[in-house]
Structure 1
Amino acid sequence: MHPAFSVIFLTTLIGAGQGLYLAMVTGQLYAIARFLPAQSEHFYALGSLVALLLLGAGLAASFFHLGRPERAWRAIAMWRTSWLSREVIVLPIVMVLVFAYGMAHWLNWTRPLFQLGEALQVDLTLLLGVLGTLASLALFICTAMIYAAVRFLQEWHTPFTVTNFLFLGTASGFMLAAAYSAYLGNPLVTFYGTWAVILTLAGLVSRLAHLHRNARLKPKSTPQTAIGVRHATLVQKAQGATGGSFNTREFFHGQSQSLVERLRVLYLVLVFPVPILLIGLSYLSASSSLPIIAFCIQFLGLLIERWSFFAEARHPQNLYYQSVA
């Protein structure tokens, strides 16, 4: 498939935004349980603002791959059957909840609304945090299922697509939370960094399993079935359209297989071992800059990973339209 850069930025930006928001809520829950020191309300408010900006940037990026952006609102019409429609509905809900969560902290609306059990006092921020967490998880599923539900693209039609989006998005968010804490000189760097490493390792297992699966795939279509000729040997001499067409542009990335393989190695290095190593070094050196560098390198790797994700998908129509002698 042809990777649209607007979709690459959409999926990586909202993934990091959701992950950062989940990190803020996780930190608050640990503080409530007294496993972590309590943080100021402004810490959660500013973290939520950064998450909201990432979500907004991802939403803005989505308009660049629309032919008629003024009709974007119509995307919600098919919510009963379309995962894209569901994503379009859930994303603004997540943004509203992130905004409300941040504002509740900023305005110090932390007076308990009710109590659960003997100790847990539920205030507005905690309630919004739980609702936002559920909405964020739903958004991860909706975004991933846009691709995982496409049955004829075998590389995408797998649960690994969902686990990749979930683990890689949350890993980048928690890595950003560690960078945010390091920038503020906050002691939660170790907490967020450790979770970022755990999620990054989970993402590594999922992505390697996905690559292993795709390498063993056997195409369901062949050049013979593409043109309806049963001869045992077929050699394609043209790409199906001498002057190029929508089919030759939109369903193939146009790069050599060697470049695709090199980019695969590059993102496997940038997304997984390098950030983990930098986080570990930051613990040893108490560096405030290494977590920030770790996030930047990992996010760059995720942009390459997402390009590769789209490029890996082999559209069946390319059996007829793409090969050139």
Structure 2
Amino acid sequence: MNPAFSVIFLTTLIGTGQGLFLALYTAQAYSTVALLPAQPGSFYAVGSAIALALLIAGLIASFFHLGHPERAWRSAARWRTSWLSREVIVLPALMGAVAAYGLVHYYGWGLGLIGINTPVEGDLALVIGAGGVALAFLLFLCTGMIYACIKFLQEWATWLTVVNYTLFGLASGFLLATAYAAWRAPALMYFYGGWTVVATLAVLVTRVVSLIRNRRLKHKSTIQTAIGVRHARIVQKSQGFMGGSFNTRDFFHGVAPRLFRSIKWIFLVLVFPVPLALLFAGMIRNSPVLIAAAFVVQYLGLLAERWFFFAQANHPQNLYYQTIS
């Protein structure tokens, strides 16, 4: 497939925003049971603002691959059968939950506003945040299933697609939370850093498994099935066009094989070993700058990973149009 950069930015930005929000809520939940030191409401309010900004940026990016952005609202109409429609509905709902979570912390509101008094500090934020957590994981599911449900693109049609989208979002979100904590709440830096390592190593395993799986795939479609001829030896010599077409532009990335393979190794290096090395160095030296650099490097790697994810999908029509004479 030919990746649209707007979709690459959409999926990586909202994934990081979801992960950051989940990190914020996790820290509050731990502090509620005295496993972590409590933080002021401003810590969660500013963190929620950053997460919301990432979600909004992802939503804005999504408009750039629409032929008629003014009709974007119609994309929610097929929510009964379309994972894309469900994503369009869940994303704004999550944005509302994140905004409400941040506002509740900023103003220090509690359940006492509605006549419910509890001994738990930040009780209203915990309730709203729990709903946000459910929406965040539902959004991971919707985004991953947009691609995993396409059966004829065998590289995507696997449970690993949903798992990788979720784990990449958690890894990048918790890494950003580590950088944010190093700046605003050093007591949480090692907590977030530890979970960043866990999420990053987990997605390293699942992403490598998906790479191995895709390399061993035996495609159901062949040149024989594409043209309806069952001869054992058929060789394609031309794509069937004197010039390009919609088919050749939108369903094949057009990158040289050597560069395509290089991008795989680029993202494997930038997403995993380099950020972890910078993260460890930053935590040892208590350096927000090094941890922020780890996030920037990993995000650049995520852009390369997402491009590779889309480009690796081999549309069956490429059997007929891909080869150039």
Q: TM-score, normalised by structure 2?
A: 0.96
SS in 1 for 2:67: coil
Q: Deviations over 1:111-168 (max 9, x none)?
A: 56355xxx75672100011000000000000000000000000000000000000000
User: Structure 1's 180 and 15: CA in aligned 2 closer, same or farther, altered over 3 A?
Assistant: same
Matched, 1:319 2:323: no
For 2:168, the equivalent position in structure 1 comes to 168
Report the AA paired with residue 153 of structure 1.
L
Do residues 63 (structure 1) and 63 (structure 2) align?
yes
Q: Distance in 2 between matches of 1:110 and 1:66?
A: 41
Could you say if the C-alpha distance between residues 122 and 40 of structure 1 is closer, same or farther in structure 2, counting changes exceeding 3 Å? closer
1:95 has 2:95 as partner: yes
Of 120-129 and 173-182, the range deviating more from structure 2:
120-129
* 2:24 maps to 1:29: no
Q: What fraction of aligned residue pairs are identical, expressed as a percent?
A: 58
Aligned to 1:211: 211
Q: Which whole-Å deviations, capped at 9, do the CAs of 1:281-308 have from their partners, x for residues lacking one?
A: 1222222211101100000000000000
How big is each residue's C-alpha offset from its partner over 1:193-218, in whole Å with a ceiling of 9 and x where there is no partner? Answer: 11111101111011011111111100
Runs of 4 or more above 4 Å deviation: 119-122
> Quick check: 2:108–2:122 contact (8 Å CA) kept in 1?
no
CA distance in 2, matches of 1:114, 1:85: 39
Asked if the contact 2:182–2:286 (Cα under 8 Å) also holds between the matched residues in 1, the reply is: no
CA distance in structure 2 between the aligned counterparts of 1:185 and 1:59, rounded to whole angstroms: 29
Q: Deviations over 1:62-96 (max 9, x none)?
A: 00001111111001111000000000000000000
Moved more, 49-58 or 182-191: 182-191
2:250 aligned partner, one-letter code = E
> Where does the alignment leave 5 or more consecutive residues of structure 1 unmatched?
none
TM-score by length of 1: 0.96
Conserved 8 A contact 1:182-1:292:
no
Who is 1:178 aligned against? Answer: 178
SS in 1 for 2:101: helix
Equivalent residues in 2 for 1:1-325, closer than 5 Å? 1-110=1-110, 113=116, 115=118, 123-184=123-184, 186-325=186-325
Letter in 1 for 2:166: L
Give yes or no for contact 1:6–1:61 (8 Å, CA) kept in 2: yes
Is this contact kept in 2: 1:87–1:142, CA < 8 A?
A: yes
Secondary structure at the aligned position of 2:187 is classed as coil
- The 1:185–1:37 alpha-carbon spacing in structure 2 relative to 1, beyond 3 Å, is closer
Whole-angstrom CA distance in 1 between matches of 2:35 and 2:303: 34
1:232: how far off?
1.7
Whole-angstrom distance in 1 between the partners of 2:167 and 2:297: 17
| Partner AA of 2:232 in structure 1 | A
Structure 2 portions without partners, runs of 5+: none
Return the alpha-carbon distance in structure 1 between the equivalents of residues 275 and 187 of structure 2: 19
Specify the code of the residue in structure 2 equivalent to 1:199. A
For residues 101 and 217 of structure 1, the distance between their equivalents in structure 2, rounded to whole angstroms, comes to 44
2-structure distance, mates of 1:283, 1:186:
10
Partners of 2:93 and 2:111 lie apart in 1 by 24
> Following the alignment from structure 2 to structure 1, what is the Cα–Cα distance between the partners of residues 291 and 111?
34
Residues in 2 aligned to 1:49 and 1:121: alpha-carbon distance in whole angstroms: 21
- One-letter code of the match for 2:152? F
- The one-character-per-residue Cα deviations of 1:33-74 (angstroms, maximum 9, x if unpaired) are 111111010000000000000000000000000111111100
Q: CA deviation at 1:183?
A: 2.5
State the one-letter code of the partner of 1:194.
Answer: G
CA distance in 2, matches of 1:183, 1:159: 37
Give the match's secondary structure for 2:234: coil
User: What is the CA–CA distance in structure 1 between the aligned matches of 2:42 and 2:111, rounded to whole Å?
Assistant: 16
CA distance change for structure 1 residues 289 and 85 in 2, over 3 Å: closer, same or farther? same
- Report the Cα offset of residue 242 of structure 1: 1.6
Cα deviation digits, residues 169-228 of structure 1 (max 9, x gap):
111000000111123353211111111111011110110111111111001111111111
Q: Following TM superposition, by how much is the alpha carbon of 1:8 offset from its aligned partner in structure 2, in angstroms?
A: 0.0
- SS in structure 2 of the partner of residue 218 of structure 1: coil
Q: Distance in 1 between matches of 2:317 and 2:44?
A: 49
